[in-house]
Amino acid sequence: MAINDEGDLIKISADDLVVGDTLPWTVYDATGRLLMDSGNVITTQSRLHSIVASGYRLYELPTEADPVIVSDLPAPHQYSKDTNPFNELEEMCFELEKAFGGIGGEGSFKDGRLEKRLYDSASQIQGLIKLNADALLGSIHLSNKFNYSIKHPLHVAIISTMIADALELPQDVQLAIIGAAITANVAMNAYQDSLQNHKGPLTEEQKSRVENHPEEGRKLLETAGITNPLWLDIVLQHHEKVDGSGYPKGLRGDQICLEAKIVGLADIYSAMISSRPYRSALTPQRSLKQLFLQRGSFFDESLTNIFLAELGIYPPGATVELANGEMGVVIKRKAPESSKPIVSSIRDRFGTRFMHPVMRDTGDKRYSIKGDVKVEQLGNVNPSILWGLKLMRVS
């Protein structure tokens, strides 16, 4: 079998499948050679990439079909214990780029396909947090590889998931929260990075875009097939503030849904710890202090307290100086002593880099935390090495 003028075979699109799907048709290569029978499950991202790169399926006459409906919501994904979460997050960033391209008009999604795809991403984030929550928090504070428009929504989703999990919210609500966190700024994606690099006051046009993006984002998502009303409400309300100073509606207190308050808090924190051309990124400690001072005015007080308790005084990814002069990165929270985490030391008291990171328990007075330092003072940081993880991806 081969492709002919009648179009026996048609190319498989990246929007046709996601990891975990069961193949609805047999897959061939461009010459008609069998690659995979229908009914097989796509178990890994690499297998999916292979199918999309070289796969074709038989052309079928279009028929009236029901839209894809997400009826069985996914549970948190279960990862092998030796999975490297940093590699998984990097791959998720590439997947988000594709999804955002589809939402923004560069591609299209079948009815229900985008919602299912992002529910799957949400379940992966949940699974990675269950695997290694400290590493996920570390990725928020140390990640600098992708553009802000890609890494920011993923970071907001990670923080939102941790808060939702601490509140023991039901799975359907958590998935709506994570989906909304990923897509809250979708209406700004086209100019998010240029806005991030903007110096000086915003122009009137820029202000208008910022203030209107929650409503525009909701419309974009509805057009792209998102039907979950809670998800859409969160996107609309995630910039509202409990004192009424937010936008687009100026809602107050309980007029804002709890789920939107969660995403809004995560959004602000992620923005604080991200660098700008006109300022360096705030350290986690300074960012957490600002949130603490603004609790009850901009942010829900009880929710902020839960968030601060989850991250701890020195959250994973925070860069610190120890009493003995060493500098390193916090890699593990240590309940109930959140002020005495485990640190992976990178440089000695003379500034010389260790050949291998040295683990320090800051509960030991010799290695107590003296203060925070900027990540630039540590030089190049490879999170996988700090956390002692395998560098190669494990499916």
Residues 181 and 143 in one domain: yes
Tens-digit pLDDT profile for residues 215-242:
999 999 998 889 999 999 999 999 999 9
In the chain, the number of structural domains is 3
**pLDDT at residue number 68:** 44
Q: What is the mean pLDDT of the chain?
A: 85
Q: Is the pLDDT of residue 141 over 60?
A: yes
d(CA 156, CA 61): 43
For the segment 69-97, the average pLDDT, to the nearest whole number, is 87
pLDDT value, residue 269: 94
Judgement on whether residues 234 and 159 belong to the same structural domain of the protein: yes
Looking at the structure, tell me whether residues 131 and 206 fall in a common domain: yes
Nearest-5° Cα angle at 172, 118 to 114: 20
140-157: average pLDDT: 89
CATH code for position 230: 1.10.3210.10
Tell me 299's DSSP state: B
Q: What pLDDT, on the 0 to 100 scale, is given for residue 1? A: 47
Whether residue 19 lies inside any domain: the answer is: yes
Please report the pLDDT score of residue 296 as a whole number. 77
Q: Which domain holds residue 27?
A: 9-58
User: What confidence tens digit (pLDDT) does each residue in 358-370 have?
Assistant: 999 999 999 999 9
- Is 145 within a domain? yes
- Quick one: 144 and 276 in the same domain? yes
Residues 292 and 345 in one domain: no
Judge if 212 and 295 occupy the same domain: yes
Based on the fold, state whether residues 189 and 229 are members of the same structural domain. yes
Average pLDDT over residues 266-286: 81
CA distance 122 to 101: 18
Q: Are residues 349 and 382 in the same domain?
A: yes
Kindly state whether residue 78 falls inside one of the protein's structural domains: no
Residue 171 and residue 287 share a domain: yes
Please tell me whether residues 362 and 303 are part of one structural domain: no
Q: Is residue 25 part of a domain?
A: yes
Residues 209 and 106 in one domain: yes
Which residues lie closer than 8 Å to 391 by C-beta, 6 or more apart?
A: 84, 87, 384, 385
Phi, psi of 118 (to 5 degrees): -80, -30
Asked whether residue 65 is domain-assigned, the answer is no
Residue 66: its pLDDT value, please? Answer: 46
- 64 located within any domain: no
Assess whether 232 and 290 both reside in one domain: yes
Mapping DSSP onto H, E and C, the string for 160-209 reads HHHHHHHCCCCHHHHHHHHHHHHHCCHHHCCCHHHHHCCCCCCCHHHHHH
